Structure 1
Amino acid sequence: MLRFVLKRLLSLVISLAVASVVIFLFVEVVPGDPAAYMLGMNAQEDTLAALREQLGLNGTLVERYLSWIGGMLRGDFGTSYTYRTPVAEMIGERIWISLPLAVYALTLSTLIAFPAGIWAASKRGSLADVLVMGFTQLGVAIPNFWFAMLMVLLFAINLRWFSAGGFAGWDAGFLPAMKSLTLPAVALALPQASILARVMRSSLLDTLGEDYIRTARAKGLSRRQALWRHALRNALIPVLTIIGLQFSFLLAGAIIIENVFFLPGLGRMVFQSIAARDLIVVESVVMLLVFAVILVNFLVDVAYAVVDPRLRVKA
């Protein structure tokens, strides 16, 4: 098990190193000068040069990369060009909105998908199976931002159970803050729950067709008993993959939903920073999100080894 974990850790470090180079080069080659954007089109050349020097934009690509990555390793993400505020402080403020939102949405998705997928698999070919698969197909097809706007119209404007947008803040209390995140979390959870339920059903049906399940049935176990005692655990490997990918998506890909609900999260901050050519914020936040994605994939690999001991031997 230790060898398996160490190999995955080495892969994690290599992936982060490659990702940092790609992110830096990609952001740096985007057209536009942050200094010119901040000072306007009529700024004097000497003023632009002074601002570029102040922002550290005059160094070579290698110098700027090493300065940026070295600062991140020390916990210093640099200073925002636009707000003149440490990027770490900006991330610290926003992540306590994006992270709970992602966890909330993933929890709702899992609570919906697991029972639905297991029930559909246990009722294969029945009306219940057809209905579950029909609803999941609908959930995959509906864009989450459109569903979000429908929920705002119904629950915020007509029924007035929730606010139409904004974040109450954790200072207002846990329940008011979670209430602010409920509609965005539901909007994010619907398509993810639909995907996860379909994967859960498919994986269970494949597992129920294995020889050891037929042997268990031949020894007297009912289909329900074979499903819960033997099939479910072995069907979890592809499901864990989807859960890991979904969490990464929910943390890094909620830009549209955060803009629909005016949530001051990481996604909205990246969107605003791109518009303002605030390169240091874009690089640091994207690198942090990539780290979260790679870390989640690492934890999923470890979870694989826990669920299926055969993987430790192969590693």
Structure 2
Amino acid sequence: MIRYAATRLISLGLSLMAASFVIFAVVEVIPGDPAAFMLGMNASEETVAALRDELGLTGSLPARYLGWVTGMLGGDFGTSYTYRVPVSELIAARLWVSLPLALYALALSTLLALPIGMLAAARRGRATDYGIMGLTQLGIAVPNFWFAMLLVVLFAITWPIFPAGGFPGWENGAWPALKALTLPAVALALPQASILARVMRSALIETLGQDYIRTARAKGLTEGQAIRNHGMRNAMIPVLTIVGLQFSFLLAGAIIIEKVFFLPGLGLLIFQGITQRDLVVVESVVMLLVFAVILVTFLVDLAYALVDPRLRHSR
């Protein structure tokens, strides 16, 4: 297990190195000068040159890349061109919105999808199975921002149970913050739960056709007992893959939902950084999200090894 984890850690480090180079190169080739953008079209060349020097944009690309990477390794993400505050402060403030929202939505989608997928697999070929598959197809097809607006109309305007938008901050109490995140989390969880339920059903149906499941039935186990005691563990590998991918998507791809509910999260910060040509914010936040994706992939690999011991001993 230790050798397996060490191999995955080396792969994680190499992936981060490659990602940092690609992110820096892509952001730097975007046309436009951040200093000229900040000062406006009527600024003199001397003023623009002075601001470029202040922002650290006058050095060579290799030197700037090395300075950016070494700074991140030391916890220094640089200073925002627009807000004139350390990028780490911006990320910390926004992360306390995006991370709980992603975890909340992932928990809702998992708690909803796993029993639904198990029920569909146990009743495969029957009316229950067809009904669940139809509902999950609808959940995938409906855009989450449209579902979000529907939730606002129903549960914030017609029945004022949850707030329609905004985020009060965790310093005002956990319950108000969770209430503000509930409708966005439900809107994000619906399509993810639909995808996960279909994957769970397919994995279980494939597992239920194996010889050991037929042996378990022959020993007197019911369909549900065979699924719970023998089928679930072997069907979890594709499910864990989807869960890992969903967390990465929910953390980095919730920008539309954040716009609908006026949530100050990481997605909105990236959007503002792109529109304001705040390159250091875009580079640092995207690199952080890439690190989160790679870290989740590493944890999913470890979960594979726990679920399937054969992977721990494979070359």
* TM-score category of the 2 structures, normalised to the smaller one: over 0.9
Which residue is equivalent to 2:287? 287
Matched, 1:301 2:301: yes
Q: Given residue 95 of structure 2, which amino acid in structure 1 is its aligned partner? A: I
SS of equivalent to 2:262: coil
CA–CA distance in 1 between the matches of 2:251 and 2:51?
34
Partner of 1:237: 237
Equivalent in the alignment of 1:65: 65
- Aligned-partner Cα distance in 2 for 1:65–1:57: 11
2:266 matches 1:266: yes
Deviations 1:108-131 (CA, angstroms, capped at 9, x unpaired): 000100110001111111111111
Aligned to 1:277: 277
Quick one: distance in 2 between partners of 1:66 and 1:120? Answer: 53
State how far apart, in whole Å, the 2-side matches of 1:43 and 1:281 are: 23
1:122 equivalent in structure 2: 122
How many residue pairs were aligned? 315
Name the CA distance, whole Å, in 1 between partners of 2:223 and 2:80. Answer: 59
Partners of 1:27 and 1:156 lie apart in 2 by: 39
Tell me what 2:47 maps to.
Answer: 47
Residue in 1 that maps onto 2:226: 226
1:100 is the counterpart of 2:100: yes
How far apart, CA to CA, are the structure 2 residues paired with 1:160 and 1:223?
43
State the shift of 1:220 in Å: 2.9
Distance 1:59 1:211 in 2: 65
Q: Residue 162 of structure 2 aligns to a residue in which SS?
A: coil
After TM superposition, the score normalised by the length of structure 1 is 0.99
Greater than 3 Å deviation, 4+ residue runs:
none
Task: Tell me the TM-score normalized by structure 2.
Answer: 0.99
Superposition pairs of residues 1-315 of structure 1, within 5 angstroms:
1-315=1-315
Aligned-residue offset at 1:191: 0.2
Once the two structures are superposed, residues 207-245 of structure 1 have per-residue CA deviations (whole angstroms, 9 ceiling, x without a partner) of 000122122223332222211111111000000000000
- One-letter amino acid of the counterpart of residue 254, structure 2: A
Q: For residues 63-101 of structure 1, what are the alpha-carbon distances to aligned partners after superposition, in whole Å with 9 as ceiling and x for unaligned?
A: 110010010000000000001100001101110000000
SS of residue in 1 equivalent to 2:248: helix
TM-superposed CA distance for 1:135, in Å, is 0.7
Q: CA deviation at 1:190?
A: 0.2
Quote the Cα distance in structure 2 between the aligned partners of 1:158 and 1:133. 30
Q: Aligned-residue CA RMSD in angstroms?
A: 0.8
